[in-house]
Amino acid sequence: MRTILFLIRKEFLQIFRNKFISKAIFGVPIIQMLILVPAITFEIKDVRLAIIDKDMTPESRGLISKLEGSTFFRVSYSTFSESDASDKLNRNKCNIILNIPSGFGKDITTGNQGKLTAVVNAINSSSAQLSWAYLNGVIGDYNKDLIRKNISYSPVVTMPQIQIANRYWYNETLNYKYYMLPGILVILVTAIGFLLAGLNMVREKEIGTIEQINVTPVRKYHFITAKMVPFLIIGLVDLALGLVIGKLAFNIPFEGSIMLMFFAASIFLIAVLGLALFVSTFSATQQQYMFVAFFCMIIFILMSGIFTPYDSMPMWAQDLNLINPVAYLMRINRMVMLKGSTISDISRELYSLTILATCFTVFAVSRYRKTA
């Protein structure tokens, strides 16, 4: 035990002797959280419309003013030329072109259907679909207005109505910061732990200082533990800092048990650090390690469900995620923090993380060779 403590002390000294790293492991997460968390939103507002109104009747003008009055849309251009409008779309000066052909108003008053075309920039398919749905909604409302104002347009039809009330629990205003803060926090903790722990180990190999440890009676598990503990502590401190920022800067509530979150994060960090040290036994140089780490991290992060709904992934991808520690902590963090899930709600994730942590650590200890 004493040996481990001494080794841990050595690691801490080495980490904090490097002025840049010792500041960066706490500074970079804080700065990135402060800058990145408020930036991210999928919320659509201010969809810019270019309108081609060739009709110029009260009906078409009514629709345009209805659109101007809505919170989602802003009419940024009005033109009569289609090529002008599509140029605006190409230059990203508008998101949707709404083309009202002449005869629109006449068709409505004579009881025919008034036709209009919307051209949506669909490179980002999900926001294209949403903005089209909103546009369709406004047009539908306008349709109702027309009927209400002038019954002669069409006979009154009593149609059954289902009123829908939407409510959002845990985050009533759909504040994206609630969603992104736990996610970004997981990424930062992962990146720092995974990258630094492994680099640290490979560095000893690369510059040869590992030989000095190898010739001492220090046992394999002593050495691995001593390499893990400092980064485990740093990771937890980063997590704590992130949560404080969430509370102070963004006023994000913490519904669940903080102890439970740190407990889960500790198991997660052991798993990640175990994997880092395991990978480091395969790498001879820091450059090599860095590439493997980069590769793993990108895959872990993208597959973890940080930006995209987890359940939409095909089955094979969800199966692959069984060995992705980041996916588990991503879920745990959001559930505990925002919904107040208890230990029994996240037991499956905790078991899986424990298994991963054990396996990776055992692999790391057994792969590490004291003899060349």
Partner 1 sequence: MKRFLGFVRKEFLHIFRDYRTLFILFGIPTAEILIFGFAISMDIKDAGIAVLDLSKDEVTQKLTNKITSSGFFKKSENLLNYNDIDKAFKKGKTKAVIIFEKDFGKNLLSEGKSSLSIIADGSEPNTATLITNYTSAIVNDFTRELSGPALNKSVLIKPEVRMFYNPNLKSYFMFVPGVITLVLILICALMTSVTITREKEFGTMEVLLVSPLKPVQIILGKVMPYFILSFVNVLVILGLSWLVFGLPVKGSIVLLLAESMLYILMSLTLGILISTVSQNMQQAIFISLIGLMLPTILLSGFIFPIENMPKVYDYVSMIMPPRYFITIIKNIMIKGTGFMYIWKETLVLIAMTLLFTGLSVRKFKIRLE
Query: In angstroms, what is the C-alpha Rg of the chain?
Result: 29
Site for partner 1 in 64-103 (CB under 8 A): 89-92
Of 185-193, 217-225, 229-237, 269-277, the window that binds partner 1 (rule: CB under 8 A) is 185-193
Do the strands 47-53 and 73-79 form a parallel or antiparallel pair, or are they unpaired? Answer: parallel
Asked if 24 is part of the footprint of partner 1 (rule: CB under 8 A), the reply reads yes
Spatial neighbors of 110 by CB under 8 A, at least 6 apart, are none
- 302-341 footprint of partner 1 as x/- string (CB under 8 A): xx-x-xxx-xxxx--x--x----------x--xx--xxxx
For partner 1, the closer of residues 288 and 358 by Cβ is: 288
For partner 1, the closer of residues 140 and 216 by Cβ is: 140
- Among candidates 350, 175, 324, which has minimal Cα distance to 260? 350
For partner 1, the closer of residues 63 and 222 by Cβ is: 63
Of 18-26, 209-217, 262-270, 272-280, the window that binds partner 1 (rule: CB under 8 A) is 18-26
Q: How many CA atoms lie within 13 A of 358 on its CB side?
A: 5
Asked if 129 is part of the footprint of partner 1 (rule: CB under 8 A), the reply reads yes
Torsional sign, CA 190, 316, 264, 358: negative
Asked if 241 is part of the footprint of partner 1 (rule: CB under 8 A), the reply reads no
Of 36-44, 227-235, 243-251, 271-279, the window that binds partner 1 (rule: CB under 8 A) is 36-44
8 A C-beta contact, residue 121 and residue 101 = no
What b/e sequence results for 151-164 when a residue is b if at least 16 CB atoms lie within 10 Å of its CB, and e otherwise?
Answer: eeeeeeeeeeeeee
Among 12, 72, 77, 132, binds partner 1 (CB under 8 A): 132
Among 10, 106, 115, 247, binds partner 1 (CB under 8 A): 115
Q: Which of helix, strand or coil describes residue 75?
A: strand
For partner 1, the closer of residues 161 and 371 by Cβ is: 161
Of 141-149, 220-228, 259-267, 360-368, the window that binds partner 1 (rule: CB under 8 A) is 141-149
Phi/psi at 55 (nearest 5 deg)?
-90, -50
Question: Could you tell me the smallest distance in angstroms from the CB atom of residue 105 to partner 1?
Answer: 11
Asked if 122 is part of the footprint of partner 1 (rule: CB under 8 A), the reply reads yes
8 A C-beta contact, residue 116 and residue 99 = yes
Q: How far apart are CA 118 and CA 51, in angstroms?
A: 9
Question: Could you tell me the smallest distance in angstroms from the CB atom of residue 359 to partner 1?
Answer: 22
Q: What is the DSSP string of 100-111?
A: E-TTHHHHHHTT
Asked if 160 is part of the footprint of partner 1 (rule: CB under 8 A), the reply reads yes
Among 179, 268, 278, 328, binds partner 1 (CB under 8 A): 179
For the chain, the residue count is 372
Q: How far apart are CA 121 and CA 90, in angstroms?
A: 9
Site for partner 1 in 201-240 (CB under 8 A): 203, 207
Question: Could you tell me the smallest distance in angstroms from the CB atom of residue 217 to partner 1?
Answer: 29
Of 172-180, 216-224, 242-250, 359-367, the window that binds partner 1 (rule: CB under 8 A) is 172-180
8 A C-beta contact, residue 197 and residue 290 = no
Asked if 286 is part of the footprint of partner 1 (rule: CB under 8 A), the reply reads yes
